[in-house]
């Protein structure tokens, strides 16, 4: 069948529909030499800017800027905001003081993880929840009976991550006096062009780093202020490819990469309890009732957990992402969800989901099946793997306060 031009155009609407551009997009596009973009929550985001490997070394050796504006952001305010969020999330929000950030996760009534993210307590009854997926309908439904307001800030609030050993020096040179006092997971407000911006000592690289939040209308001038100050400290703009390498080294997980969120899972066996993806330490069973509590505690009590998330060290230097994991080279035990050769650890590392009892009772004689491209032909490699703790890379500078100057 031959399609006329109008039919072809109609069939390409989904391709022609432009992705949204973040407030920082013009600056990143001007720096981009790879033109390597991907879609993040409907936004055009860089997978790389100039070179994946050099961008990685910018994070670990100097400083790097990564646009996190597409990260979904919700503002939750009201007299019941603490009680609402305590019902919603796994950790005890009552312990989160104003000016602090809490890594957390939240579940449906069956205890399956809907998402993970960071919860900022901006004031006594004022919170910001940052996450991977959009949850506004679920949040508003869950808020029934609570005196709270919920507003999505994703489009109006620009955000950028500044990560790496010289990141503090960049902010200091940019004139953000007092930023040296910020401890990990602490936040403070600063002035920029007669506007208030928020800086948190947080990040997704396992390195010294900060995240800056500002009204979208002053995003470009904030970028320029940081960029100008950073030229003496090796500052580079980076894409997700480099960031992903560092988050694997840090042992961090990503929703819908290392686990499937409950709302997006098409099959029941794809859903995960917190204990099945390494988030058991977030669960506070002593706090008031929260979503999924009964199911999570029942699974622990009856020992009915089916999966476990582990760190692997694999022989050789061929990354094992999406490789199958076997016991004794014959029985399938799980799958690698993320894997790289780590330049910092000098090891072949991976994050994997295993089916229990593998990873819990059976720890030895594990192998991964890697298919490596060699001169246009795939070569099957069976490489020995051993379970190791996460993080794979632990950098003391991440927590030193005040950070070292350069």
Where is the binding site for substrate, in residues?
A: 211
Binding residues: 211
Closest CA to 166 of 374, 395, 403: 403
Q: Which residues contact residue 274 at a Cβ distance below 8 angstroms, ignoring those fewer than 6 apart? A: 90, 105, 107, 111, 113, 280, 282, 283, 296
Tokens of residue 358, six digits: 């593998």
Cβ atoms of residues 95 and 85 within 8 Å:
no
| DSSP string for 223-283 | HHHHHHHHGGGTEEE--HHHHHHHHHHTT---BTTTB--TTT-SSGGG---GGGGT-GGG-
Burial class (CB in 10 A: 0-12, 13-18, 19+), 90: buried
What distance in Å separates the CA atoms of residue 111 and residue 300, rounded to the nearest whole number?
12
Going by DSSP bridges, is the β-strand pair 126-131/195-200 parallel, antiparallel, or unpaired?
unpaired
What distance in Å separates the CA atoms of residue 52 and residue 272, rounded to the nearest whole number?
32
- HEC string of 167-203 equals HHHHHHHCCCCCHHHCCCCEEEEEEECCEEEEEECCC
What distance in Å separates the CA atoms of residue 43 and residue 21, rounded to the nearest whole number?
6
What distance in Å separates the CA atoms of residue 291 and residue 118, rounded to the nearest whole number?
17
């Amino acid at each position: 069948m031959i399609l006329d031009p109008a039919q072809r155009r109609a069939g390409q609407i989904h391709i022609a529909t432009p992705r949204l551009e973040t407030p920082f997009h013009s600056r990143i596009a001007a720096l981009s030499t790879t033109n390597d973009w991907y879609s993040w929550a409907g936004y055009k985001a860089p997978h790389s800017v100039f070179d994946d490997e050099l961008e990685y070394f910018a994070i670990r050796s100097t400083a790097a800027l990564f646009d996190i504006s597409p990260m979904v952001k919700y503002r939750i305010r009201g007299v019941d905001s603490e009680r609402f969020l305590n019902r919603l999330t796994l950790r005890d929000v009552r312990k989160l003081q104003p000016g602090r950030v809490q890594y957390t996760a939240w579940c449906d009534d069956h205890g399956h993880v809907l998402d993970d993210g960071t919860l900022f307590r901006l004031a006594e009854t004022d919170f910001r929840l940052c996450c991977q997926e959009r949850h506004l309908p679920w949040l508003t439904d869950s808020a029934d009976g609570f005196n709270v307001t919920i507003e999505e800030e994703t489009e109006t609030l620009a955000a950028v991550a500044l990560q790496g050993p010289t990141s503090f020096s960049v902010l200091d040179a940019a004139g953000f006096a007092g930023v040296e006092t910020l401890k990990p997971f602490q936040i403070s407000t600063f002035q920029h062009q007669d506007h208030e911006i928020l800086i948190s000592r947080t990040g997704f690289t396992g390195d010294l780093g900060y995240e800056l939040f500002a009204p979208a209308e002053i995003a470009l001038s904030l970028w320029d202020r940081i960029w100008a100050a950073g030229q003496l400290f090796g500052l580079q703009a980076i894409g997700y490819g480099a960031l992903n390498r560092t988050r694997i080294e840090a042992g961090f997980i990503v929703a819908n990469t290392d686990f499937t969120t409950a709302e997006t899972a098409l099959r029941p066996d794809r859903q995960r309890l917190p204990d099945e993806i390494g988030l058991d330490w977030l669960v506070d069973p002593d706090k008031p009732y929260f979503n999924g509590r009964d199911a999570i505690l029942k699974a622990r009590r009856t020992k009915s957990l089916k999966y476990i998330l582990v760190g692997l060290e694999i022989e050789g230097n061929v990354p094992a992402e999406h490789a199958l994991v076997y016991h004794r080279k014959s029985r399938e035990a799980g799958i690698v969800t993320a894997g790289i050769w780590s330049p910092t650890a000098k090891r072949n590392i991976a994050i994997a989901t295993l089916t229990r009892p593998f990873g819990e009772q059976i720890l030895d004689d594990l192998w991964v099946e890697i298919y490596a491209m060699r001169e246009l032909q795939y070569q099957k490699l069976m490489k020995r793997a051993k379970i190791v703790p996460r993080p794979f890379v632990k950098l003391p500078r991440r927590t030193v306060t005040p950070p070292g100057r350069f």
